[in-house]
Amino acid sequence: MIESFKTLEKQAKNEKSKRVAVANAEEADVLTAIVNAANQNIVKPVLVGNEEGIKKLAEEEGLDISSYRIVDVERDEKEISKKAVELVKKNEADLLMKGKVSTSYLMKAVLDKEKGLRGGGVLSHLTLMEIKKYHKFLIITDAAVTISPDLKQKIGLINNAVYAAKKLGIEKPKVGVVGVVEKVNPEVMPTTEDAALLSKMNDRGQIKDCIVDGPFALDNAISEKSCRVKGIKTDVGGDADILLLPNIEAANIMYKTIAYLTDNDMAGVIMGAQVPIILTSRSDKDRIKYLSILTGVSMV
C-alpha cells in the first residue's frame, strides 16, 4: 500500500513515462511542475498554448523545454482546452492537465458529447492528502466538480474515490460520509439521511469493494478518540481512507484551508473521464501541481 508521496514518486519513476497534455503551459508553477516530472522520466510533456509565450516563460524561469512537443494555439482558453482534449482523444497523450485555463472551459471541452472524454459515469474531483497528524493518505471529494450531489451522484463519487484508493494499493477502502453531526437528522440536516442510506446500501452490497459508514462529524471520521468519547461503534471512524463531503463548498473550503494554512502535501485529480485529469487551483504552488502529476500518473 502506498502511504506517502515519496513512495508514490518512487513508483512513478519505475514505470513507463506517460504523455501529459497541458492545457496552457504558459504559467510558471505549471511549467516548473511538468519540467520537474519530465526530468525524472515520469512524464513526456505535450505543451498546449502560445508557443512563443511558453518558450519565453521557460527561458525566464531557467527551464529547458527544448525537447518537448509544443502545440501552438492562440491565447484563447476555450481553444486551448479543446486542443488539449483533442490530443488525448486522438491518443497523442495519456493524461490531461489543467494549466492556465479556467476549470469551466476545460470541463466543457471534456464533457463535449462528440469530441470530449466522457466516461461511463460521474466525473468527480479527488484531493489526495498526506497529513502529518494522520497515519495514512486521506482522500476527500468533491472540491471542484459536483456542486451539490444527490444520492445517485454520491454513489458515483464514492465509486471514483474507491477506484483511486485501490490504485494506491488499499484493498478495501474505508469511506466516511461527513457532515456536521454524527446522528441522522433529516429535517434539520438532510445530508445526514443520505449518509445513513449510503451506509445501509453498502451493507446490502449496493456499493461494493469498500466499507461505508456515516454520518460522521469530521472529528469522528478521522479520530478514534472522538469516536470512543462519543460512543460511536464503527470500523471506519478514526481510520477513514476517503471522506465524502456533503457539497462542493465544504470540500473546497477544506481543500484550500489545508493548502494555505497548513504545511501538508496534497494533490488534485478528476476521475471518471476516459483518462485521469490533473486539476488543481490556478493559484496552487508548483509543489502541489507536481504531486498532482504523480497522482494522475498513478491512476492510469
Partners of residue 47 on adjacent β-strands? 22, 70
Half-sphere exposure of 264 (CA within 13 A, CB side): 23
What is the structure's pLDDT at 148?
97
The CATH number assigned to the domain with range 124-259 reads 3.40.718.10
Does the domain made of 5-119+273-299 have the CATH classification 3.30.2130.30? no
Q: Is 241 helix (H, G, I), strand (E, B) or coil?
A: coil
**C-alpha cell read off for 234:** 464503527
Q: Is 139 helix (H, G, I), strand (E, B) or coil?
A: strand
Strand runs labelled E in the chain: 18-23, 43-49, 69-72, 95-98, 124-130, 138-141, 174-179, 211-217, 242-244, 265-271, 277-278
What is the structure's pLDDT at 283?
86
What residue spans define the domains of the chain?
A: 5-119+273-299, 124-259
Burial of 95 (0-12, 13-18, 19+ CB in 10 A): buried
**Average pLDDT per 10 consecutive residues for the chain, totaling 300 residues:** 95 96 98 98 98 98 98 97 98 98 96 94 97 97 96 98 98 97 89 96 98 96 96 96 98 95 97 97 93 97
What is the structure's pLDDT at 255?
94
What is the structure's pLDDT at 282?
84
